[in-house]
Structure 1
C-alpha cells in the first residue's frame, strides 16, 4: 500500500538556505527600490517645474554610433540598454529558482506560476473589458500585467519590516515568474519588422556565449564585449533588446559543484544586482516617469478608457487575479495555508503586487509608440495605479502588523547564539542539550543572586 502523501502547506516556513538567499536578495532590491522611488519623484518634479524644457532636452538627446543603427535618445538607451541589465538579473533569478529554488519542485512551483498567470490574465481582462465598453484602444492590454518587485519591496521597507519571510519569498518568486511572462509578452507582441540577418547574428552570439560557459572560460573581458555585440544585434533585429539580457542570464549555471561555496550564476548575480537595482532601473525611471501632472490630467486618468483600464487592472485585476489563483491552487491541490497566516495576508501581498511601474512603463511605451500623447497619459495611469495599490497594501498590512512582528520575532530568535534561528534547530537533540545547559546556567545565576540578596555570600554553584 502506498504511503499517504504529507499534506502540503501553502506559504509555509522556508528552508534555511532559501531563507538566507531571499533575505540577501531582498536587501539589495529594497535599496534599489528606494533609489527607484527617488528617481521617479525627481522625474515628476523636474518635468512639472519651470525646468521642464531641460528635462525633455536631456531625455531626447541622441548619442551612439549611427552606422551601427544605435544613434538612440537617452530615454531609449535607458529603456533598451540599461533594462537589459535588469532582465539579465531576472534571467539568473529565474534559472536559480528552476534549478535550486522553489520552482525546482513541481508541486511547489504550481502556486507561484498559477498565481502569476492569473495575476497577469485578470488585469489584461479588466483592461479589455473597460476599453471594449468605452470604445478605447485595446492595444494596451499588457500594460497592467507586470509587477515591479523593486518598487514593491521599497514599500515593504517602510510599512512591512516585520513581514514573515514566507510572504516575502512568495512576492519575490511571484515577481520572477511575472518577469518571465512579461519578457515573453514583449518578445511575441511587441516585436517590429524582423531583420533576419541581425537576428541570426544575435542567435549565433548567444551560441558562442553558451559554448564559452560550457568550456569554463572565465574573464569579464571575454563576456562583456560579446554581450554588447549580442545586445546590439538583437536591438537591430527588431526583437526588443532586453530579450538578449534574459537569454544570457538563463544560460549561467546556478547549481553548485563540489568545492564551490556559490555557483557562477549566484556569483555574477551578486556582482550585477547592485548595478541593476542601483543604477539601471533608477535611470530608466528617471527618463520614463517624467509626465506632466495637473488636476485636469489626473481627472482624465479616471475618465479615458485606456487609462482607467490600466488603473483598474493594476489595483483590482492584480489583487483579484493573484489571490484567486493562490486560493484555487490551494483548493484543488488540497494544500492548506500555513497556520501562522490567513487569507487576508495573501490578499494584502496580492494588492502590493499591483505596483507595476518599471515594466508597465516599458510596455506602455511599446504599446502606444505611435501616439506620444496617449503614451504620457498611460504613464500617468501607471503611476496612479501603482500609488493606489501601494496605499491599499499599506493599510492592509498595517492591520496585521502586530501579528507579523510576533511571527518575525519567533522566526529570528536565536537563544543559543549560534547564528542559526532556533526554529530551524528544534528537531535536533544537540539543540535541546545546548538549551538545557543555557537554562541551567541561568538558574544557577538566579540562585546566586538570591543568596547575595539574602546575605549568604557569593559562592558560585553553576555547573562546570
Structure 2
C-alpha cells in the first residue's frame, strides 16, 4: 500500500523529503547507467556460474591451471610476472575503477552529490551500510576461536551490477528515486571501498614509482582538461600510470580512480556532452561487459568437492561475511536512513514506503566484485581462507538477493503503475510530464 499523501497545508518542503525525484537530465543518465549495469550484471552472473560449475566438475584442474597461467614470464623486475587471475584482478579491474572514478566525479560535480542535502542520504546510508557489516564481522571473529579480524572489510561492499541484474530478473519497476538512490549509494560505497583498499590493504609502499606515477597522471590531466582525446596518447599514459602504481605497492586499481577524477565534467562539446560523459559512455560497456565478468570468472571458482563442509560453515570468517552482508548491510542502510529521517524530520517522498527501502537495503547486501577483491588482498589468492571467502560472499549475496526479491516482488504491480504515470508525455515534447510539474531549479528544464 502506498503511503498516504499529505494535504497541501501539511506537505513538508521538498528539500525535507527523502528519495525526491531528481532532474530529468540526471534521471536520463541514471537510466542509461542502469541499463548497461543490467546487461553487465547478467554477464557477471554468467561468468560466476561457469566458474562454479567448472571448478566442481571432473575438469576442475584445468580451471585452476588456467588461472595460474603466466602469459608473460620474466617480468618480475617490473612486478609484471602475473598469472591470468592476477591480471584480471589488478589489470582489468583498473578499467572498472576508472569508470567508478568518472561516476564519482560526475556525481560530485553535476549529479545529486553536488547538493549537500541530496548527498546526505546516500552518504549516511553508505556509511551505515559499511560500518555495521564491519562491526558484525569483527564481533564474530573476535569472539570465536580461530577468527581472522583482518577480513573486516570484505562484507562492506555493494556490487551495483549484480544488484541491478537481480532487479531485472524479478521484473521490479522501482520508483526513480529509489533506483537513483541504489546507484548513488553504490558509487559512494565504491569510494569508501577504494579508500579502504589503499589505506588498510597496502603492505608496503615504494615511494619512487609512486611519485613517478604523478608524471603520467599530470600529462593525462593536462590533455583531457584541454579537450585532447587522442587515444594514442591517453591509453599509453594510463598504462604507464597503472604500471608505476602497481610497482609502488599500492593496489593498481587506484590508478583508474585517479585518472577518472582527472576528466572534466562540466565542459561540453558542440553536441552538449561533457568529456566525462563521453568517456563513461565508451568505457562502461568494456567494464561491465568484459572486465568485471572476466574477474568474476577467475575469482568465483570455489571447489566444494572433497572439502570439509563442516569446517566451512563453522569458520568465523564465513559466518562473519555472510552475516555482515545479509544482516549488517540491511540494518546499517535501513537504520541509518531511518535515524536520518527522525533527526531531520524528513519524510519519504510520495509513493515510497519503508518496505521499499527495506527491499533496497537487502539488495545492497549483494557484495561480489569488490568483496572478492578485498578477500584476496586480506588472505592471499588461492589460500584456504580465500576459498572460504568466495563461498561466504556467494552465499551471503544469494541470500540477500532472495530476501530482497521476496520483499520487492510484492510491490511490483504498484511500481509498474507509478512508472507508467511518471513516463507519460502527453504534450509530446520528449520529456515526461512529471518532470515539468514544477518550475524550480530541479524541474529538469
Instruction: Name the TM-score class by shorter chain.
Output: over 0.9
In the aligned structure 1, how far is the partner of 2:346 from the partner of 2:66?
53
Question: Which residue number in structure 2 is paired with residue 91 of structure 1?
Answer: 101
Match of 1:20 among 28, 47, 52: 28
For residue 297 of structure 1, report the CA deviation from its aligned partner.
Answer: 5.4
**Can you list the C-alpha shifts for 1:116-146, whole angstroms capped at 9, x where unaligned?**
0110000000000011121311110000000
How many residue pairs get matched?
425
Q: Report the counterpart of residue 421 of structure 1 in structure 2.
A: 432
Query: For the residues of structure 1 that align with 2:296 and 2:269, how far apart are their CA atoms?
Result: 41
Q: C-alpha separation between the residues in 2 aligned to 1:268 and 1:318?
A: 31
**Deviation for aligned residue 1:34:** 0.2
User: Does the aligned pair in 1 maintain the 2:227–2:275 contact within 8 Å?
Assistant: no
Q: 2:43 matched to 1:35?
A: yes
Does residue 45 (structure 1) correspond to residue 53 (structure 2)? The answer is yes
Q: Check conservation: 1:357, 1:386, Cα contact below 8 A.
A: yes
Aligned equivalents of 1:54, 1:222: Cα separation in 2: 38
Per the alignment, residue 88 of structure 2 pairs with 78
Are 2:70 and 1:59 aligned? no
Greater Rg over alpha carbons, structure: 1
Q: What is the match of residue 442 of structure 2?
A: none
Aligned-pair CA distance for 1:227: 0.5
Counterpart check, 1:281 vs 2:292:
yes
Shift of 1:293: 2.7
Cross-structure match for 1:214: 225
Q: Please report how far the alpha carbon of residue 324 of structure 1 lies from its aligned counterpart in structure 2 after TM superposition.
A: 1.1
Q: Structure 1-normalised TM-score?
A: 0.88
Flag structure 1 segments of 5+ consecutive residues without an equivalent. Answer: 429-464
For residues 150 and 56 of structure 2, the distance between their equivalents in structure 1, rounded to whole angstroms, comes to: 28
Q: Which of residues 215, 236, 240 is equivalent to 1:229?
A: 240
Shift of 1:213: 2.5
Q: Is the 8 A contact 2:48 2:301 kept in 1?
A: yes
After TM superposition, give the deviation of residue 403 of structure 1 in Å: 1.3
Cα 1:75–1:296 change in 2 (3 A) is closer
Instruction: Name the CA shift for 1:143/1:427 in 2 (closer, same or farther; >3 Å).
Output: closer
CA contact (8 A) 2:225 2:264 kept: no
Classify 1:60/1:206 alpha carbon distance in 2 versus 1 (closer, same or farther; 3 Å). Answer: same
Find the counterpart in structure 2 of residue 435 from structure 1.
none
Residue 370 of structure 1 and its aligned partner are, at CA, apart by: 7.7
Where do residues 145-224 of structure 1 align in structure 2 (5 Å cutoff)? 145-224=156-235
Q: 1:121 aligns with which of 131, 138, 144?
A: 131
- Residue by residue over 1:12-62, the C-alpha shift from the partner in whole angstroms, topping out at 9 and shown as x without a partner, is 222111111110010001000000000000000011001101101110001
SS at match of 1:62: coil
TM superposition shift of 1:154: 0.4
Indicate the larger mover: 195-204 or 141-150: 195-204
Matches within 5 A, 1:250-261: 250-257=261-268, 259-261=270-272
1:72 is paired with a residue whose SS is coil
Change in CA separation of 1:293 and 1:251 when aligned onto 2, cut-off 3 Å: same
CA distance in 2, matches of 1:47, 1:379: 12
Instruction: Give a deviation string over 1:159-179, Cα, whole Å, max 9, x none.
Output: 143111111110000000000
The alignment status of 1:377 with 2:388, answered yes or no, reads yes
> For residue 442 of structure 1, what is the aligned residue in structure 2?
none
> Where does residue 309 of structure 1 map in the other structure?
320
- SS of 2:213's partner is helix
Secondary structure at 1:254 match in 2: coil
Identify the residue that residue 434 of structure 1 maps to in structure 2. Answer: none
Per-residue CA distance 1:228-274 (angstroms, 9 max, x = gap): 00100100100000000001001111114474511001001100000
Instruction: For 1:359 and 1:26, locate their aligned partners in 2 and report how far apart those are by CA, in whole Å.
Output: 19
Q: Distance in 2 between the 1:423 and 1:145 partners?
A: 36
| RMSD between superposed Cα atoms in Å | 1.7
Q: Distance in 2 between matches of 1:296 and 1:57?
A: 19
Report 1 or 2 for greater relative contact order, CA contacts < 8 Å, sequence distance ≥ 6: 2
Residue 149 (structure 2) aligned to one of 119, 122, 138:
138
Structure 2 unmatched ranges of 5 or more: 1-11, 440-445
Structure 1 equivalent of residue 9 of structure 2: none
Q: Which moved more, 1:250-259 or 1:337-346?
A: 250-259
**Contact kept in structure 2, 1:301 and 1:308, CA below 8 Å:** no
Cα deviation for residue 214 of structure 1 reads 3.0
Q: 2: CA distance between counterparts of 1:6 and 1:410? A: 20
